Structures are given as structure tokens and as C-alpha cells.
Structure 1
Amino acid sequence: MNWKRLAAAITVIAAVAAASWSYLVITYESDLGTMNIVQVDLTDSVSDSRIDNQLVSLDFASGAEDLSWSSLEINLMVADGVYGCSFGSQSNSETDDGKVLPKLGADGQTFTTVVDATDTESYTYFDVAQQLESNQSEFWMKFSSTDIYLNGDVAWAFVEGADFSEVHSVPEVMSNQTQDRLEWYEYDMAVHRVNPNDGVYVLVKDEVSFKVKFLTYYNADDESRYPTMQIASIGNSSFPALENTDIVVPSPCGIITNDLDSDFWNANETIRLFENGVNLCDGICVIELQIKYETINVEIELQKFEIGQ
């Protein structure tokens, strides 16, 4: 046997395998987001001193899918300001720091919340109802790297395979087992990625109930140890965070739609963005539009435009 040739062959095979693995990791694409393309119509746009003008009309190019309002984030950048568009409230931009970062979706009811779990020696404690960082005694969930635990007084269930929009009530059977960590993800060895399990958690504590869907383990810069969740109240439960003016404020940009489906921006639906009691544009006004779906930027045919000419 020619040992040199064998060693060379093994080296080549190992190099090819390493190159293939590197290619898979580098070219990995998340399942989050949408292929929809947003079209911009400025026909009825108005820019003057009033505080209720229509600024832009939006719809989708052909071949689109329906998008859940709870997963959408729509912002207008005008001058040096960033203004959220929703059916009610937007996140207070002054709270964009700390280890818990909640962002209110366009439905005005659902938060997309990122938790900093980068500390492997201690936990980040999270109050689901308040959407705030908590402490060791009053938390709902605690995070460290991939480890997530529930507090002992939280009842929970996992609705496997359910979409976030499909869960409206507390399941009849709930678990009180909180000693073990949540088995909320699978590890993909092919690309070395943490992928959340498909389904929705239901959490109940102090007579309030919430649905929680893990979207990703990565932040906007694709850094790991940043679990990101969609969170909304269910049933007749209150959501204290929505009443906290340190977290949410009235949205200066409203959404108008004639569609009766309040859960989805449908593929064939046109929406209008208008000033909601705030004068955003007066005279010539340059607007930059940003839309995210499941934390991923949506393609817009005309992202930056001018009205009031």
C-alpha cells in the first residue's frame, strides 16, 4: 500500500468536506421573512400643515403571500425622525437599551422581543407581562445562552406546529413542570445553527395569559445568544406592557385598510399610511420607508421618495 497516496487522498477528502461545510454555513438563509415586494403609490399623497394627511399607499406585487400584522413592523424615516406606523401604538424609541428590547408590531398588540442571553455565568430575567427585565423572584422566564427556564409559578403548554395567529385561548391541559429547561430548539449540525421548534408556547401566571413564539436565536447582526420571540396576550387577558407609556406611545403614523381581515395584510390588499394627529410632512418632504417581517427587511420597489412637490 502506498501510504503517501492514501494520506494525500484523505487530506483531499477532508479539505473538500471542510469547504462544503463552510459553504453551507456561509450561504445559510433563514426561513424567516417573505419574498413579497411592496409597491409604492404616491397618487393621493398630501404634504401640508394638516395632521391627518395620507402620505403613501402600499400594496404587493403579483405572487405575494398574506402577511400577519403581528409580525410586521412599518417605519417612516422623515428628516431625523423615525415614526412607527400601526393600528394603535408604537414602541417608545427612548427604551432601546438594556437586556430586554421589545418592539411593538404594526397590529399594536404584539411585541417582538429580543433578550440578551450572552452571559453564560448568570441569567437575564424577563417579565413577560411587563416586557421588562426583571429579577430573580418576579420573573416569568430566565435566559442564559440556549438555556431558558420558567419560574415555578408559571403554568405552560406547547402547541406543536401551530402558527402564532392560530392560538387564541389557553389549552385545557397545562404543565406545572418548571424544573427542567425548555426544550425550545433543535441544533442543525450541518450549518451549526440553533433553530426554534415549530409551534407556540402558552404561559399563564397571576391570572394573565400569553402566547410566545420563538423566531430565532440570533439578532439583526446574526450574533448568537439573542433569543427573539413574538408575544401577545390571549383570551380576555390584559397586557400591562401596552399601558406602560415608558414602553409604548401613540403611533404618529396610522394604517387604514378597507379589508375586514384584521389579522393579515392580504396579498391583494392595499393599505394607506396617514398622519395620526402629528404633522410629519409639510411642503416638500423626503420619506424613507422601512418594512420588516419576522425581523427581516422586506423588499420595497421605491424605498425613498418625495412628496409635496
Structure 2
Amino acid sequence: MADAAMTKKIREGRGFIAALDQSGGSTPKALAQYGVQESEYSGETEMFDRIHQMRTRIVTSPAFTGERIIGAILFEQTMDREFEGKGAARYLWDEKGIVPFLKCDKGLMPAVDDCQLMKDMGDLDALLSRAVEKGVFGTKMRSVIGGANRTGIEANVAQQFEIGARIAAHGLVPILEPEVTITIDDKAEAEEMLRASILEHLDAWEGEPLMLKLSLPSVDDFYKPLIDHPKVLRVVALSGGYSRDEANAILARQDGMIASFSRGLSEGLSAQQSEAEFDATLDAAVQSIHDASVAP
């Protein structure tokens, strides 16, 4: 059973979920956006040290608090590290009032039927047990829909719910993330198939309410039936390649949907900024994403 105070924060909190879960493949891009080039570190160990420095700077900033941010998604290595001498997940909740989540997937399989399922997650149960011990509330796992292919979308959603049930069995709240690629020509048709499949699987879901992380929809309020569903704790949006301003503008039109942005959150932050400049830039980003999440 998930922590009651954290559940209340996620269900009722006015704010958004920060995605700080860039993994091995996306870390060099995230660091480059932050102003740290690949020539400035050598090997994976140094790379992950540098990204942890960036995340620590974000999380410990006075702009990063539970007043506007209700949750944060951590990469596995971040969960195993510390912020200011305290385990990352416990620091988020105890010091910031922010509910900690863990990215638990291991990346994507090659596309089949226009969709990419998740790779084998290895000893998932051991990871989930460790997450519970470290004070994590829930998990997030991403797969990708690259076309309006009913077979591929059904396989995608079925895998999300199947693994979601394993996660829920540990008392964690799963965030299912079947991402629709925003640049495909048949995005609206793919979203129709996705929504129908999710609703069908929700009818068979027997656990505590879960969460969904979805691409911003082509039609405003398209995901309202999922947002209002009694088996859904919260529906959050990924920025999916939109700039922060674009994503905020679309999100502000979605009743009940809140942000869970990664690149959109860190946009404009730089390793070269002074602490005052960094905090001011982050504060403006947090405020804009918060405002879009609580609109109208």
C-alpha cells in the first residue's frame, strides 16, 4: 500500500512532476544542453558524476520545492546516490515535500508493428524492493508508439499493464508511459487507438489506482475520460520534443492534465551560470510549468 501522505499529494497537489530521469543514452544530450560537452568527461562514471552534479544543483535550488512541484522521477543511479548527505528519495520527500518516483525501464526494443516495446528489465523485483527500502513512492516506464497500428498499440499497452501489475504488487504506484511520437502523420488516429486500449485494460485492472504519462493530445481534453477514471490517480504529460513554451501552451488547455517535463524543465539552465542566474532561470521554468499545469 502506497504512503497515504504521498498519495494525497499526488492526487490533490497543484503542481507538476519533474522528470530528472535521463539515462545512459540521453545523458550526453542532457549534459550538452546544460553546457557540458563530451570532451569534458571521460567514460560513463565521469558522465554520471556530471549529470548528478546537475541534478543536485536543480534539486537543492530554492526554486525546487513541493509548493509547485508535487513529484520527481529519478534515474536508478540517482536513487542510489545522495543529495546533501541524505538518500535522494528521502531527501526529496523529507526536505522538499516532493514525492519520489523511479524510472525502472531499461530502454526500448526495435520497432515491430510501428511500436517499440520495452526491453527485458532484468531482476525487476530486486530493483523494486530496493526502491521501497529507499522510500520511493512509484515508478515510471516508457515505451513508444510510432504509428496508428492497432496490433502494435495493443501489444504496447498490454506490456505496460502487465509490468504495472508487478510493480503494484510491491506497493508502488506505476506510471505507465506509452508515448505517441508527436511528429507522426497519423498521431490523432494513434491516440484514438491508445485511449480505447487503455480504457479496456483499466476495466480489468484490480489494483490500487495507477498513473499515466501521455503525449500531449492532438485534440484538447482528449484524455479527460482517463483523467476522470476511478482507477487512475493522475494523468501527466510529457513534452515529447516540444519547446517548453509550446508544451505549456498545449498543456494549459487540458483540463486536469499536469506536466511531467524533462527537457522542458532544464531548458535554459547552464553549468556556466552563477547560482543567482541558475536559480532565477529555474524559478521561471518551474513557475511557467506550474501555471500551465494548474490552468485554467
TM-score by length of structure 2 reads 0.30
Larger Rg: 1
TM-score by length of structure 1 reads 0.29
Q: Quick check: which one's strand share is greater?
A: 1
Q: Using CA pairs below 8 Å that are at least 6 residues apart, which structure has the higher relative contact order?
A: 1
